[in-house]
Amino acid sequence: MTDEQMPSLADLMDGDEEGLSDVDYVAARVAEATTPGFHSGFMCLVGRPNAGKSTLTNALVGSKIAISSSKPQTTRHVIRGVVSTAQAQLVLIDTPGLHKPRTLLGERLNDLVFDTWSQVDVIGVCLPSNQRIGPGDAYLVSQIAELAHRPTLIALATKSDLVSSGRMAEHLASITELEQQTGVTFAEIVPCSALEGSQVDEVRDIVIGLLPEGPAYYPDGEITDEPTETLVAELIREAALEDLRDELPHSVAVEIVEMGNREGRPQDRPLLDVVANIVVERNSQKGILIGAKGSHIREVGTRARSHISALLGTPVHLDLQVKVLEDWQSDPRYLNRLGF
């Protein structure tokens, strides 16, 4: 079946067959769209902050679709990346990290995580090789173990480039102990390094081997279903987070005010105009983000323009403003406005 013939989820739900329930109807249409021997499904990566989840997502997809940072709770949206081969399609879902919520935003992000876990086929638990496995890892895996529908689990010993072979052997033994402690069984345990590309292809092939037969959910060549505005906003937020410390990173959000190609430009010399607000919770945070005589906001703009241009393949003019929305993380109106 060609991409043009492939029904969307909306198509699948639009219509009925006499005597079939909605669920049976969808199942029948999906089966009709499935090529024998073709495997497809969904996977999410989980782990402590800075475990390498977003970096591995980008490495598997082959393009930067998820922002990465050493700051906790960097990921706030569910980002879907698509990995396609001749015989399979893997949809990677990069989720926020599970954490103890202190705000309404934190509660909503945790709900999003649990909802995603219950719907995927495979969960990859990222356990960085350069860190000891601790109570946080055990808690995370135990929460997955309690799911009514538990996906297939694999353990990913990320950041393998940072450790010796001896330390890696210790780490793999600790992962086995984690299985015994939490009562789960990992289908595979795979050392990998997203930064160097070591064993990334092996991770992809192992996960694909665990997927059921199914249709291609996305056209060949598509790497994400995220709206361009969302990706641009996330790249701006990543640039803003780079030099920030303490609690300020949690208070930063980005909203796109306006985005579009500048009129009157030659077709071979396009320019994308982006107007965006960087949102913080207090006036003191606004001053930090702007910096002395605007020095920090200029650095943010320079970094963000570079990443946006690389992603979209076009020059970018970026107009950034810093806006204060008091305690936006705990205000339902502001959360809804900012897309949470």
Whichever domain contains 71, its CATH number is: 3.40.50.300
pLDDT score of 327: 83
Per residue in 222-260, pLDDT (tens digit) is: 877 777 888 898 889 888 888 776 556 678 889 999 999
pLDDT score of 176: 96
Any domain includes 284: yes
List, in order, residues 6 or more apart from 284 with CB less than 8 Å away: none
CATH number of the CATH domain containing 265? 3.30.300.20
227 is in an annotated binding site: no
Of the candidates 210, 237, 256, which is a domain's last residue?
A: 210
37 is in an annotated binding site: no
pLDDT score of 36: 78
Give the domain range for residue 119. Answer: 22-210
Residues of the chain with pLDDT under 50: 1-17, 20-27, 29, 32, 70-74, 76
Could you give the 3-state DSSP secondary structure of residue 60?
helix
The CA-atom distances, in angstroms, between 286 and each of 74, 289, 340 are 19, 5, 22
Any domain includes 174: yes
Same domain, yes or no: 131 and 28: yes
pLDDT score of 160: 96
List, in order, residues 6 or more apart from 269 with CB less than 8 Å away: none
Of the candidates 210, 242, 264, which is a domain's last residue?
A: 210
Same domain, yes or no: 198 and 78: yes
Any domain includes 8: no
Same domain, yes or no: 290 and 334: yes
Same domain, yes or no: 203 and 244: no
Any domain includes 269: yes
94 is in an annotated binding site: yes
pLDDT score of 68: 56
pLDDT score of 56: 92
106 is in an annotated binding site: no
Any domain includes 17: no
Same domain, yes or no: 272 and 330: yes
Of the candidates 155, 182, 210, which is a domain's last residue?
A: 210
Same domain, yes or no: 242 and 311: yes
> Phi first, then psi: what are they for 290, rounded to 5°?
-75, -40
The CA-atom distances, in angstroms, between 62 and each of 84, 179, 201 are 11, 31, 11
Asked if residue 48 lies in contact with residue 75, where contact means CB atoms within 8 angstroms, the answer is no
pLDDT score of 17: 47
Same domain, yes or no: 64 and 144: yes
User: Cα(187)–Cα(153) distance, rounded to whole angstroms?
Assistant: 6
Same domain, yes or no: 243 and 186: no
pLDDT score of 96: 65
pLDDT score of 79: 64
Tell me how many domains the chain contains: 2
pLDDT score of 161: 96
96 is in an annotated binding site: yes
Any domain includes 15: no
Any domain includes 218: no
Any domain includes 11: no
Q: Quick one: three-class SS letters along 167-194?
A: HHHHHHHHHHHHHHHHCCCCCEEEECEC
Same domain, yes or no: 123 and 264: no
287 is in an annotated binding site: no
95 is in an annotated binding site: yes
Same domain, yes or no: 206 and 277: no
> Phi first, then psi: what are they for 261, rounded to 5°?
-70, 135
49 is in an annotated binding site: yes
Q: Which residue has the tokens 């999003």?
A: 112
Q: CA 166 from chain center: how many Å?
A: 32
Per residue in 42-82, pLDDT (tens digit) is: 998 988 877 888 889 889 988 777 655 544 444 545 667 88
284 is in an annotated binding site: no
246 is in an annotated binding site: no
161 is in an annotated binding site: yes
Same domain, yes or no: 49 and 155: yes
97 is in an annotated binding site: yes
pLDDT score of 4: 44
> Phi first, then psi: what are they for 145, rounded to 5°?
-65, -25
158 is in an annotated binding site: yes
Same domain, yes or no: 161 and 254: no
53 is in an annotated binding site: yes
